[in-house]
Amino acid sequence: MFGIAMIPSVLLALGMAFSPENPRWLYQQGKISQAEMSIKTLFGKEKVTEVMNDLSAASQGSSEPEAGWFDLFSGRYWKVVSVGAALFLFQQLTGINAVVYYSTSVFRSVGITSDVAASALVGASNVFGTTIASSLMDKQGRKSLLMTSFAGMAASMLLLSLSLTWTVNV
């Protein structure tokens, strides 16, 4: 199981070995010739002049000062950092890790004997939900999608807690 999980990481490592650097980052670091080579690799040599002009125009308008780690806790970024940290915390507190971990036991208790099928169902539902969320992200907006997903999670947790209190007489 762990050996199969290495395949995507090895493929990613191989892909990154052949992937060019980000031209914007190279340009900002003053590595102009490397930025041109990266643009040539990504877009072709006919686009080098056009993209370099765009990078030059974009860099003239921005004079953002260099920021350090402690700047994340300053007043300017405090709200954004707090919201991001709270989202990660609430994600862990919902118990999704326990649901995924015990999914094979839950599926086995309802009659699905194959652990592979149970894991595949959980993975497929995760991919399905992520695909829907990704397609709705730009159309609906992040905030409305987040609020809707929180309402869905609350309803799911309510149903889960109710299912633990009810007994089924067969």
Quote the CA–CA distance of 154 and 169 in Å, as a whole number.
Answer: 27
Q: CA–CA distance from 36 to each of 18, 30, 40, 53, 97 (Å)?
A: 16, 11, 6, 11, 45
The number of CA neighbours under 13 Å toward the Cβ of 161 is: 7
Quote the CA–CA distance of 31 and 107 in Å, as a whole number.
Answer: 55
List, for residues 35-65, the tens digit of each pLDDT value. Answer: 999 989 888 889 889 989 888 888 776 556 6
Residue ranges, comma separated, of all CATH 1.10.286 domains in the chain are: 11-61
Rounded to an integer, the average pLDDT of 125-130 is 89
Residues 6 or more apart whose Cβ sits within 8 Å of residue 47: 39
- pTM of the predicted model as reported, rounded to 2 decimal places: 0.46
Q: What is the CATH number of domain 11-61?
A: 1.10.286
